Amino acid sequence: MKPPTETGALGEFLISARSLAEYRVIFELDDTDLRGRRILDCPGGAASFAAEAAELGAQVTAADPIYARPAAELRELARTETERGSAYAGAHHDRYHWDFYGDPDRLHGVRLAAATRFGADLTAHPDRYVAAQLPALPFPDNNFDLALSSHLLFTYADRLDADFHLAALLELSRVTHGETRLYPLIDHTGRAQDDLVAHLRKKLHDKGIPTVLRPTRYVFQHGATSMLVLHPNQN
C-alpha cells in the first residue's frame, strides 16, 4: 500500500469504492427505497452501489468527472485508489470507529471487492456511468426519485467553498423530485462542518427547500453520525 501523505491530509480527491452494504447503512436504504426507483449516485466514484442496486431492481445513474476516462484506466485507478484510501485509514486508525468493518484489513477487503465489482460493471453497463461534474449535471429537472451524495460535499470543505456547496445542493435537488441525502457532514480530517451545514440549510430554506438532519446508524469517522436530507422544493 502507498504511504499516506505526511501532513495527515488525504491529498487529491480520493476515488473511493463503497459497496451497497455501506450505502444501505449510510443512507438508511431498504429494498423499497431501491426497487423500481430511479436513483442518482453523485459522486459515484468507484462505488459498486450502481451495479449492486441494479440487481435489486433499481435504475441507478452514477455521475462523476472520472468517468470521462477509459474503462481500463478507471479499473486500475479504482484499485490504486483503494490502496491509497485503505493506507490512509490504517495510518489514522484513531480517527475512526472500527465496529462496522472490524479492522483496516477487512475495510480494505470490502473496498477492493467493491472496486472490482465497479470495474466489471463499467464494461457490462457503461450507460450507468455518466461523466459529469457538480455543480452542473446533464440531467433534466426531476429526473430521479432519489439522489445520494457520499463523501464529496463537506468531506472536502478544505477546498470546496460554501458557494460551491450551495450550487451543488441546488443542482442535486433540481434533478430529483424526491429526497437528496448527503453524508458525512464532517470533513476528511474529522473537523465538524456545523457552521457550513447551518449556513446551507438557511440558504436552502430561503429557496423553498426544507432540510432535516437525520441520524445514521453508520459510524466510521468520529462525529459523523448524521446525514443531511433535502426535501423537494416547495416553490
Ligand X SMILES: C[S@@+](CC[C@H](N)C(=O)[O-])C[C@H]1O[C@@H](n2cnc3c(N)ncnc32)[C@H](O)[C@@H]1O
Minimum distance from residue 139 beta carbon to ligand X (Å): 13
The reply on whether position 24 binds ligand X by CB under 6 A is: no
Determine the Cα–Cα distance for residues 91 and 5; give it in Å rounded to an integer: 10
Stretch that binds ligand X, among 11-19, 29-37, 123-131, 173-181 (CB under 6 A): 11-19
Q: Which residues are within 8 A (CB) of 198 and not within 5 positions of it... i.e. 6 or more apart?
A: none
Q: Which of residues 114-173 bind ligand X (CB under 6 A)?
A: 133-134, 150-152
The reply on whether position 13 binds ligand X by CB under 6 A is: yes
Determine the Cα–Cα distance for residues 192 and 208; give it in Å rounded to an integer: 26
Minimum distance from residue 53 beta carbon to ligand X (Å): 13
Which is closer to ligand X, CB of 114 or CB of 209?
Answer: 114
Which is closer to ligand X, CB of 15 or CB of 89?
Answer: 15
Minimum distance from residue 27 beta carbon to ligand X (Å): 10
Residue nearest to ligand X (CB): 45
Which is closer to ligand X, CB of 58 or CB of 234?
Answer: 58
What 8-state DSSP symbol labels residue 138?
Answer: S
Q: Which of residues 38-67 bind ligand X (CB under 6 A)?
A: 42-43, 45, 47, 64-66
- The C-alpha angle 172, 176, 178, rounded to 5 degrees, equals 120
Minimum distance from residue 213 beta carbon to ligand X (Å): 19
Buried b (16+ CB within 10 A) or exposed e, 183-192: bbbbbbebee
Stretch that binds ligand X, among 9-17, 31-39, 189-197, 215-223 (CB under 6 A): 9-17
Which is closer to ligand X, CB of 64 or CB of 121?
Answer: 64
The reply on whether position 182 binds ligand X by CB under 6 A is: no
Do the beta carbons of residue 40 and residue 173 sit within 8 Å? no
Which is closer to ligand X, CB of 106 or CB of 205?
Answer: 106
Which strand ranges, in their side-by-side order, compose the sheet holding 129-130?
Answer: 129-130, 59-63, 38-41, 144-150, 176-183, 226-230, 211-215
Which is closer to ligand X, CB of 14 or CB of 209?
Answer: 14
Beta strands in the chain (DSSP E): 38-41, 59-63, 129-130, 144-150, 176-183, 211-215, 226-230
Minimum distance from residue 92 beta carbon to ligand X (Å): 15
Cell of 141: 429537472
What's the CA dihedral at 51, 52, 58, 61 to 10 degrees?
Answer: -30
Question: Which amino acid does the sequence have at 192?
Answer: A
Q: Which residues bind ligand X (CB under 6 A)?
A: 13-18, 42-43, 45, 47, 64-66, 133-134, 150-152
